[in-house]
């Protein structure tokens, strides 16, 4: 399966080293191995003992047109090591570094890699990408992704049962194996329970203090656990928008899962999570491909008025987005914020809607048509 980043990674490899990150099993290895097959080269995974020996001793083929190094952030002082590899490699050799954890999380090395790489984040399949891959209609693609989530294996599985078996193993493996990169073995069960609780709190402002009381741990401990789940691309955090950035960071976040199939909730919550993943992919594509300073937020006031999502660029609101399953009446809070920010596009995305239309300055859009038009 050709992914939406194939062509840009191939292009950027001609100029610099490329970092490709994203959730485990989102397709990084497949993309890398397809490039190796196309360009010729060598793929080495630090998690594999034999490959790890070759990596540590730098005994790969120096004439390989493309060298792929996977999971090397697990090495001590990997940044300084990688800087030396990049600076000393043959001029014609291309270098691709992949990982299932956020490489900007790791601080083992003091050496800077600035100016030596392009960074890309690979996301699960979106409505747009599934339509491109399969020729499905936008409505069929949206229905499929709501049922299966956006990861390639469950999307392509022959049955829903196979998809659910994959998901159970995937979730258990993430918590059991990957969390140990960041935490002590004694904390794995606590993080597993915390992650399980988050599956039931998608889309709601997250009170770590309340959950901490339920679990009998300190809120600072849960904050560390949330950072771990973020770093491993299991969840992502959407923070409230405020024109004062410091205040926005301190306010209550909302949490969503990269895999919509992990969400435990009604159809409305699953739909909101899918829209969140699509918007994050859209925003990060604009950041990675175009260098734009775009961010994803939500809006909530002290009197309880809330809009599901907002997009800002250079700290200026550009879009307001509200998700609804079937309600085509303009959402009260969306109308309120649209009036306060008249230069901001206000959209109510409706899952079950016969026709898109505009009223009172708000676009009421069919979800399938709107999602397929996003950038990635």
Same domain, residue pair 302 and 243: yes
Looking at 81, 100, 121, which one is the last position of a domain?
A: 121
Residue 132 falls in which region: left (phi positive, over 0), alpha (psi -120 to 50) or beta:
alpha
Is 293 part of a structural domain of the chain?
yes
Beta-carbon-side half-sphere exposure of residue 260 (alpha carbons within 13 Å): 30
* Mean pLDDT across 203-213: 91
CATH number at residue 18: 3.40.50.300
**Whether residues 106 and 231 fall in one domain:** no
Residue 25, both tokens: 């099993």
For residues 219-245, give the mean pLDDT. Answer: 88
The alpha carbon of residue 54 and the mean position of all alpha carbons in its chain are separated, in whole angstroms, by: 31
Same structural domain for residues 145 and 107? Answer: no
Residue 213 main-chain phi, psi, to 5 deg? -65, -40
- Mean pLDDT of all residues in the chain? 91
**Over residues 159-168, mean pLDDT:** 93
Q: What is the pLDDT of residue 271?
A: 98
- Output b/e per residue, 205-216; b: 16+ Cβ within 10 A: ebebeebbeeee
- pLDDT tens digits along 260-287: 999 999 999 999 999 999 999 999 999 9
**Which residues make beta-bridge pairs with 237?**
255
Would you state the pLDDT for residue 36?
96
Question: Does the residue 224 lie in any domain?
Answer: yes
Is residue 355 scored above 60 in pLDDT? yes
Does 235 fall in a domain?
Answer: yes
Q: Same domain, yes or no, for 164 and 111?
A: no
User: Do 216 and 365 lie in a common domain?
Assistant: yes
Q: What pLDDT, on a 0 to 100 scale, did the predictor assign at position 107?
A: 39
Do the domain assignments include residue 160? yes
> How many angstroms separate the CA atoms of 243 and 258, rounded?
27
Q: How many CB atoms lie within 10 A of CB 314?
A: 9
Same domain, 297 and 207: yes
Report if residue 280 sits inside a domain: yes
> Is there a domain that residue 278 lies in?
yes
Same domain, 218 and 357: yes
197 and 112, same domain (yes or no)? no
pLDDT score, position 108: 40
Q: Which domain holds residue 325?
A: 127-372
Across 157-166, 246-255, 288-297, least confident range: 246-255
* Pairing state between β 294-300 and 306-313: antiparallel
Name the pLDDT band for 244 (thresholds 50, 70, 90): low
Whether 358 maps to a domain, the answer reads yes
> In this structure, are 166 and 93 located in the same domain?
no
Q: Is the pLDDT of residue 195 over 70?
A: yes
Least confident of 30-39, 81-90, 297-306, 347-356: 297-306
Which helix (H) or strand (E) segment is 316 a member of?
A: strand 316-324
Q: How confident is the model at residue 246 (pLDDT cuts 50, 70, 90)?
A: low
Among candidate residues 121, 137, 163, the one where a domain is terminated: 121
Q: What angle do CA 158, 162, 165 make, to 5 degrees?
A: 165
Examine the domain organization and report whether 223 and 254 are in the same domain. yes
Quick check: 198 pLDDT over 80? yes
> Is residue 1 in some structural domain?
no
pLDDT tens digits for 104-122?
654 344 467 888 899 999 9
Is the pLDDT score of 337 beyond 50?
Answer: yes
Do 39 and 106 fall into the same domain?
yes
Same domain for 205 and 101: no
pLDDT at 183: 64
Q: How confident is the model at residue 73 (pLDDT cuts 50, 70, 90)?
A: confident
Domain final residue pick, 75, 99, 121: 121
Q: What is the number of structural domains in the chain?
A: 2
| Residue of 106 and 202 predicted with greater confidence | 202
């Amino acid at each position: 399966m050709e992914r939406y980043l194939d062509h840009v990674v191939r292009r950027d490899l001609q100029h610099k080293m490329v970092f490709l990150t994203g959730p485990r099993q989102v397709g990084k290895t497949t993309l890398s191995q397809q490039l190796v097959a196309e360009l010729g080269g060598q793929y080495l995974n630090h998690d594999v003992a034999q490959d790890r020996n070759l990596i540590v001793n730098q005994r790969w083929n120096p004439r390989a047109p493309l060298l792929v190094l996977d999971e090397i952030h697990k090495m001590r002082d990997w940044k300084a090591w990688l800087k030396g590899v990049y600076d000393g490699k043959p001029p014609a050799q291309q270098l691709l570094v992949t990982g299932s954890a956020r490489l900007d999380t790791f601080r083992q090395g003091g050496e800077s890699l600035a100016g030596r790489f392009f960074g890309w984040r690979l996301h699960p399949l979106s409505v747009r990408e599934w339509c491109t891959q399969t020729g499905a209609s936008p409505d069929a693609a949206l229905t499929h992704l709501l049922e299966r989530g956006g990861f390639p294996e469950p999307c392509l599985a022959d049955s829903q049962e196979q998809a659910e078996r994959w998901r159970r193993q995937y979730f258990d493996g993430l918590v059991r194996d990957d969390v140990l990169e960041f935490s002590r073995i004694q904390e794995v069960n606590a993080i597993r329970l915390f992650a399980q609780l988050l599956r039931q709190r998608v889309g709601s402002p997250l009170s770590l203090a309340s959950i901490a009381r339920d679990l009998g741990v300190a809120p600072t401990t849960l904050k560390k656990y949330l950072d771990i789940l973020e770093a491993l691309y299991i969840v992502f955090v959407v923070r409230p928008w405020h024109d004062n950035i410091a205040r926005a960071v301190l306010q209550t976040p909302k949490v969503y899962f990269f895999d919509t199939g992990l969400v435990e909730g009604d159809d409305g919550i699953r739909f909101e999570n899918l829209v969140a993943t699509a918007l994050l992919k859209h925003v990060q594509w604009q950041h990675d491909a175009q260098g734009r300073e775009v961010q994803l937020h939500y809006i909530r006031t002290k009197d309880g008025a809330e809009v599901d999502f907002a997009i800002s660029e250079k700290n200026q609101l550009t879009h307001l987005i509200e998700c609804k399953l079937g309600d085509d009446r303009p959402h009260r809070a969306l109308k309120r914020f649209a009036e306060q920010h008249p230069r901001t596009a206000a959209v109510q995305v409706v899952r079950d809607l016969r026709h898109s239309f505009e009223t009172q300055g708000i676009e009421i859009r069919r979800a399938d048509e709107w999602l397929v038009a996003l950038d990635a």
